[in-house]
Amino acid sequence: MAVVALAGSLLAWRSASRRLAAAGAQLVDTQGELEASRQAEESTREELTGERRRGSEAEKRAEDAEQRAGRAEHRATDAESAVAALISARSPALLAEIERVRLEREWKEVAGPDAGLPVRWDGSLHNALAVELEIIREVTGTPGRLEQDGEGAGAGADEASVWVLGALGCELLRVVARYADEVVVRLEAAPGTAPAIVAEGLRGSIPAELSSIEMGAKALGVSLEVVQAGDGFVATLSAESGAG
């Protein structure tokens, strides 16, 4: 009887040991799950904090961008007023300088802050159009060619009229280049008269947005004529009769 009782006690002890071991293992697993949950909670809390921080930073960047845009808009308005005053005063030296500064700024934007003009500046309309074509090539990839026989065009003409025409001509080239595969430009003029800027868009369609240039041209005493030519078009800017 004592042996039977001892055997029963041993079996009960082993069963209890197994249950205790299983409970211990379950406790370890539960502790692991709890720790994982705590780590996940901490990670979530850190992500939430990071999102809030990034949201705050994004909001600040948006506010800064809005302020910069506002300042840029004011500068642009001031610049437009200054240009309008110079055009009204018809100072050829200042108009030429404005065009040079604009071309240098736009070239540096595409070629780098230390880049000099791709064409040596000589202060002529022919020279300004050559630089503009290089800028267009870099920005849109549209090749352009400026015919050399117009280098002396405009000699003896009212210089202010020439540079008003030139500013509009550069804008015209940018529009033409967006709607043609290639641009060919030439200057045409009788002695002592402001040159006409002729921009031929090869393999392209007439841009609807040329109407905005036409409106600005009329206000400055310049005419714009656009005609279809083969598979392309030709746009001509010229001083209106009696202008200048």
The predicted pLDDT at position 56 comes to 78
- CATH 3.30.565.10 holds for 92-239: yes
The predicted pLDDT at position 198 comes to 96
Q: What is the pLDDT of residues 69-91, one digit of tens each?
A: 677 566 656 655 655 565 555 67
Q: Which residues pair with 184 in a beta bridge?
A: 145, 200
The predicted pLDDT at position 244 comes to 44
The predicted pLDDT at position 138 comes to 94
Query: Structural domain boundaries of the chain?
Result: 20-89, 92-239
> What is the mean pLDDT of the segment spanning 188-195?
76
CB 178 within 8 A of CB 137: no
Q: pLDDT: is 54 or 238 the higher one?
A: 238
The predicted pLDDT at position 132 comes to 96
pLDDT band at residue 148 under the 50/70/90 scheme: confident
Q: Is the pLDDT of residue 106 over 80?
A: yes
Q: What is the pLDDT of residues 16-61, one digit of tens each?
A: 445 544 555 565 566 666 677 777 777 787 877 877 778 777 777 7
Q: pLDDT: is 169 or 9 the higher one?
A: 169
The predicted pLDDT at position 215 comes to 84
Question: Which of 55-59, 132-136, 178-182, 202-206 shows the lowest per-residue confidence on average (mean pLDDT)?
Answer: 55-59
Q: Is the pLDDT of residue 11 over 50?
A: no
The predicted pLDDT at position 87 comes to 55
The predicted pLDDT at position 242 comes to 43
pLDDT band at residue 13 under the 50/70/90 scheme: very low
Please provide the average confidence, as pLDDT, over all residues in the chain.
Answer: 79
The predicted pLDDT at position 49 comes to 80
> What is the mean pLDDT of the segment spanning 87-115?
86
Q: What is the pTM (predicted TM-score) of this model? A: 0.61
